[in-house]
């Protein structure tokens, strides 16, 4: 798939993608049926599991229900609605998130606040940059508050500050313990790091395991954690198992080390280790995997083992050298009889068996297809298909997969019913069926499938509309230029077919690099589904103009005037951590690029313009120069000025984090 095609696909799914992360909605006590978001003519409402409209579509955006309420907005501001469609909190927030333990994050600007179900503000100890609810692994949870300095503080579920310290890292609450990393550290006289300040707080913020006793501590599970004992000047720090008070229960002998080293955690009351085959110090080259309990007792030995997952409910996956995976119990006994080539469970290819909805889906060896195994290793369903497609992954009752062609459509196999639906969807819910329905996108239309694979409800084709957003959009504007001998070439990994064109008889500003935006938006020109403006970048000078680019995308963003008349960004250029993403593109004299920019719709009418960066030579150096386009009329929402869209990498080869 080309870079530009990928961008269009991402844009076209922008407003729907959150539905695919768990869109079936818990409801309040006055409604006993689940609600599902639906869209009609660009407005959102809710249906029940039969496809009947329960809440009339009138909202520009809706979010999931939590604790009986859902954040919704009809224009540019959010309020909260109950399960009957009644607004219980007025639409007065620039942005709002769902409730957690009686509090929700709301924003009027870039500073988040917490409100209760009555709309009252919870007092906070500081003006934070971000507030994030972090659920506990065994119930409850805490708020993690990020300061402008990027350090963090810990808040109770009520919003109360639990500890005045600021931290570099805050772990998850588990066993009433939180592993933290303080901003302090021990260093030698030359400033070299000796150990970081790792400690443990209880659920009330009290330090119960002091700093500098351990150099690393894992997350607690059932009151147990792995740790490295800090010893100044030691060549190798002793590895141990500790309880919630920091008491050492056992130390690993020299011939053992934790699997994944400091990342090893207890699972199902045991933890994975590597045991040396020759009795010397353990390492990956001369060891085999095993598990130990809190006393350090090895549950079983199998020197032929090469890989072993964590245990879950008394089961783990094991693999011997150059052999297939098989299911074992805690005594190391082999339970499954089929040859398993790949693990496809929800946690990934090296994750413990989760038996989601009662079975674990695997790919069989020797092209024998796929199978769902129960916790005894018995095959409960077999699909005799040698290869379904790319990247198969279990999601509850389903095995999701991608087609092998360039369209990257998705299909699924329901291991419970045996239903196989070939690849035709642009997206399928990663949570699988929810309250009896499966959310899917087909031809960019949201729909819900029954367990029989038939549509219960499907959105009608939508006409082109402007983008109605509540975040700063990632500005990705790819172009291409022919390599010039004078320069290093196009470079970069991202490709674009948006080549520069001869100006010919077209009229542009003379002797200048010009950026011009059309005054009228055209339907269907941005991402095929949205209104867009034609933007042209023309070079009527005698010089070739150089632009910094990331994977063919220019440093080009849109701006809007706020209510004070100040120009502010409503888009941002994402940044890559990979040096191969960075390169330069060139616009030769007498050439121009044309590309679409989105037309926005919001509650605030204003003026917009484009901002473009390019390189200008200054002697032996060059500097970034800003060029602005003409202004044009539009409208935006408040959160577009201060709430970045955010981004999650689409794989290990995706170098973008924002």
In contact, 605 and 633? CB cutoff 8 Å: yes
Per-residue pLDDT for 19 more than 50? no
Q: What percent of the chain has pLDDT over 70?
A: 91
Give pLDDT, residue 10: 33
**Which CATH number among 3.30.1370, 2.60.120, 2.60.40, 1.25.40 corresponds to the domain 473-641?**
2.60.40
DSSP 11: H
| φ/ψ (deg, to 5) at 586 | -135, 145
Among candidate residues 263, 372, 264, 360, the one with its CA nearest the CA of residue 316: 360
Per-residue pLDDT for 325 more than 50? yes
For 108-166, what is each residue's pLDDT tens digit? Answer: 999 999 999 999 999 999 999 999 999 999 999 999 999 999 899 999 999 999 999 99
Residue with token string 């002091």: 210
| φ/ψ (deg, to 5) at 605 | -70, 140
Per-residue pLDDT for 168 more than 80? yes
Among candidate residues 314, 391, 380, 301, the one with its CA nearest the CA of residue 353: 314
CA 13, 15, 20, 24 torsion-angle sign: negative
**When comparing pLDDT for 8 and 474, which is higher?**
474
Give pLDDT, residue 53: 95
Q: β-strand 316-320 against 305-308: which pairing, if any?
A: antiparallel
**What region does 335 belong to: left with phi over 0, alpha with psi -120 to 50, or beta?**
alpha
* Residue 437, beta-bridge partner list: 434
CA 201, 203, 206, 209 torsion-angle sign: negative
What does the angle CA 308 – CA 312 – CA 314 come to, to the nearest 5 degrees? 90
Among candidate residues 383, 380, 325, the one with its CA nearest the CA of residue 356: 380
Which residues lie below 8 Å from residue 374, measured CB to CB, with a gap of 6+? 355, 358, 359, 360, 380
Length of the chain: 658
Per-residue pLDDT for 33 more than 80? no
CA 602, 604, 607, 612 torsion-angle sign: negative
**When comparing pLDDT for 460 and 283, which is higher?**
460
Would you place residue 349 in the very low, low, confident or very high pLDDT band (cuts 50, 70, 90)? confident
Which residues lie below 8 Å from residue 102, measured CB to CB, with a gap of 6+? 67, 116, 117, 157, 158
Q: How far is CA 54 from the centre of its chain?
A: 31
| CA–CA gap between residue 560 and residue 640 (Å, rounded) | 9
For 405-442, what is each residue's pLDDT tens digit? Answer: 878 899 999 999 999 999 999 999 988 999 999 999 99
For 76-99, what is each residue's pLDDT tens digit? Answer: 999 999 999 999 999 999 999 999
| CA–CA gap between residue 28 and residue 81 (Å, rounded) | 10
In contact, 541 and 614? CB cutoff 8 Å: no
DSSP letters, 438-478, are: EEEEETTEEEEE-TTS-EEEEPPPPPPB-B--SSBEE---B
**When comparing pLDDT for 239 and 25, which is higher?**
239
Which residues lie below 8 Å from residue 370, measured CB to CB, with a gap of 6+? 344, 361, 362, 363, 364, 382, 383, 385, 388, 392, 399, 413
Per-residue pLDDT for 656 more than 50? yes
For 606-627, what is each residue's pLDDT tens digit? Answer: 999 999 999 886 656 778 899 9
Would you place residue 261 in the very low, low, confident or very high pLDDT band (cuts 50, 70, 90)? low
pTM of the predicted model as reported, rounded to 2 decimal places: 0.88
- Segment 195-210 mean pLDDT: 93
In contact, 549 and 576? CB cutoff 8 Å: no
Report the chain's mean pLDDT, rounded to a whole number. Answer: 89
Q: Domain boundaries in the chain?
A: 473-641
CA 609, 613, 614, 617 torsion-angle sign: positive
| CA–CA gap between residue 428 and residue 402 (Å, rounded) | 10
| CA–CA gap between residue 265 and residue 385 (Å, rounded) | 37
Residue with token string 């309880």: 243
Per-residue pLDDT for 465 more than 70? yes
Would you place residue 32 in the very low, low, confident or very high pLDDT band (cuts 50, 70, 90)? low
HEC string for 57-116: EEECEECCCECCEEEEECCCCEEEECCCCCEEEEEEECEEEEEECCEEEEECCCCEEEEC
H helix or E strand, kind and range, residue 276:
strand 271-276
Per-residue pLDDT for 20 more than 80? no
Residue with token string 């309990």: 293
Give pLDDT, residue 483: 60
Per-residue pLDDT for 360 more than 80? yes
Per-residue pLDDT for 24 more than 80? no
Q: What's the Cα-to-Cα distance from 246 to each of 60, 106, 223, 402, rounded to whole Å?
A: 52, 38, 10, 47
| CA–CA gap between residue 31 and residue 26 (Å, rounded) | 9
Give pLDDT, residue 356: 82
**When comparing pLDDT for 599 and 191, which is higher?**
599
Long-range contacts (CB closer than 8 Å, 24 or more residues apart) made by 617-620: none
Would you place residue 486 in the very low, low, confident or very high pLDDT band (cuts 50, 70, 90)? low
For 43-64, what is each residue's pLDDT tens digit? Answer: 999 999 999 999 999 999 999 8
Give pLDDT, residue 348: 74
Long-range contacts (CB closer than 8 Å, 24 or more residues apart) made by 158-162: 158/102, 158/103, 158/122, 159/103, 159/114, 159/122, 159/123, 159/124, 161/124, 161/125, 161/205, 162/201, 162/204, 162/205
85 class by beta-carbon count within 10 Å (0-12 exposed, 13-18 middle, 19+ buried): middle
| CA–CA gap between residue 27 and residue 638 (Å, rounded) | 29
* Residue 511, beta-bridge partner list: none
**What region does 619 belong to: left with phi over 0, alpha with psi -120 to 50, or beta?**
left
The strand order across the sheet containing 43-47 reads 36-40, 43-47, 53-59
Q: What percent of the chain has pLDDT over 90?
A: 72
| CA–CA gap between residue 289 and residue 293 (Å, rounded) | 14
Most confident of 341-345, 453-457, 507-511, 652-656: 453-457
Would you place residue 16 in the very low, low, confident or very high pLDDT band (cuts 50, 70, 90)? very low
| CA–CA gap between residue 351 and residue 369 (Å, rounded) | 20
Give pLDDT, residue 184: 81
Give pLDDT, residue 102: 96
């Amino acid at each position: 798939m080309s870079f530009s095609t990928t961008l269009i696909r991402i844009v076209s799914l922008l407003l729907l993608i959150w539905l695919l992360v768990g869109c079936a909605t818990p409801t309040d006590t006055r409604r006993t049926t689940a609600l599902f978001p639906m869209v009609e003519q660009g407005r959102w409402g809710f249906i029940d599991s039969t496809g009947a409209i329960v809440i009339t579509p009138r909202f520009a955006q809706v979010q999931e229900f939590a604790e009986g309420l859902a954040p919704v907005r009809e224009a540019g501001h959010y309020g909260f609605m109950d399960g009957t469609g009644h607004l219980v909190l007025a639409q007065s927030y620039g942005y709002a998130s769902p409730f957690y333990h009686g509090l929700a994050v709301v924003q009027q600007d870039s500073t988040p606040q917490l409100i209760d179900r009555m709309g009252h503000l919870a007092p906070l100890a500081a003006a934070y940059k971000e507030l994030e609810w972090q659920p506990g692994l065994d119930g409850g949870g805490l708020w993690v508050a990020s300061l402008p300095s990027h350090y963090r503080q810990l808040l109770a579920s009520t919003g109360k500050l639990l500890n005045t310290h600021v931290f570099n890292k805050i772990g998850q609450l588990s066993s009433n313990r939180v592993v933290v990393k303080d901003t302090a550290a021990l260093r030698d006289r030359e400033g070299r790091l000796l150990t970081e300040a790792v400690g443990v707080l209880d659920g009330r913020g009290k330090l119960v395991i002091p700093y500098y006793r351990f150099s690393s501590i894992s997350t607690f599970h059932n009151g147990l954690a792995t740790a490295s004992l800090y010893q100044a000047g030691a060549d190798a720090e002793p590895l141990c198992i500790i309880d919630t008070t920091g008491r050492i229960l056992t130390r690993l002998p020299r011939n053992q080390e934790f699997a994944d080293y400091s990342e090893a955690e207890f699972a199902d009351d045991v933890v994975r280790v590597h045991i040396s085959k020759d009795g010397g110090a353990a390492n990956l080259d001369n060891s085999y995997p095993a598990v130990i309990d809190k006393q350090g007792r090895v549950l079983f030995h199998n020197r032929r083992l090469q890989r072993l997952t964590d245990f879950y409910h008394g089961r783990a996956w094991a693999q011997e050298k150059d052999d297939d995976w098989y299911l074992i119990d805690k005594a190391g006994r082999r339970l499954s009889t089929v040859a398993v080539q790949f693990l496809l469970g929800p946690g990934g290819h090296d994750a413990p068996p989760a038996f989601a909805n009662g079975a674990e889906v695997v790919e069989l060896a020797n092209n024998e297809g796929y199978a769902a195994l129960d916790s005894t290793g018995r095959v409960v369903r077999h699909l005799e298909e040698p290869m379904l497609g790319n990247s198969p992954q279990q999601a509850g009752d389903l095995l999701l997969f991608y087609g092998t062609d360039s369209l990257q459509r998705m299909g699924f196999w329901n291991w419970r019913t045996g239903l196989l639906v070939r690849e035709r969807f642009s997206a399928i819910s990663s949570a699988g069926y929810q309250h009896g329905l499966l959310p899917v996108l087909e031809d960019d239309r949201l729909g819900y499938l029954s367990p029989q694979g038939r549509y219960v409800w499907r959105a009608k084709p939508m006409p082109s509309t402007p983008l109605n957003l509540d975040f700063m959009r990632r500005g990705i504007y790819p172009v291409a230029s022919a390599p010039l001998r004078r320069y290093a070439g196009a470079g970069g990994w991202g490709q674009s077919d948006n080549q520069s064109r001869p100006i010919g008889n077209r009229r542009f500003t003379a002797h200048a690099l010009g950026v011009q935006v059309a005054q009228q938006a055209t339907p269907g020109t941005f991402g095929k589904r949205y209104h867009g403006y034609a933007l042209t970048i023309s070079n009527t000078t005698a010089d070739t103009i150089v632009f910094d680019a990331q994977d063919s995308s220019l440093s080009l963003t849109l701006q809007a005037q706020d209510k004070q008349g100040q120009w502010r960004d409503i888009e941002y250029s994402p940044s890559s951590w990979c040096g191969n993403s960075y390169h330069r593109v060139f616009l030769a004299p007498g050439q121009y690029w044309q590309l679409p920019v989105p037309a926005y719709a919001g509650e605030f009418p204003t003026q917009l313009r484009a901002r473009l960066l390019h390189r200008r030579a200054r002697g032996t150096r060059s500097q970034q120069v800003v060029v602005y386009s003409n202004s044009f009329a539009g409208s935006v929402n408040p959160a577009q000025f201060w709430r970045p869209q955010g981004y999650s990498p689409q794989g290990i080869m995706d170098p973008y984090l924002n």
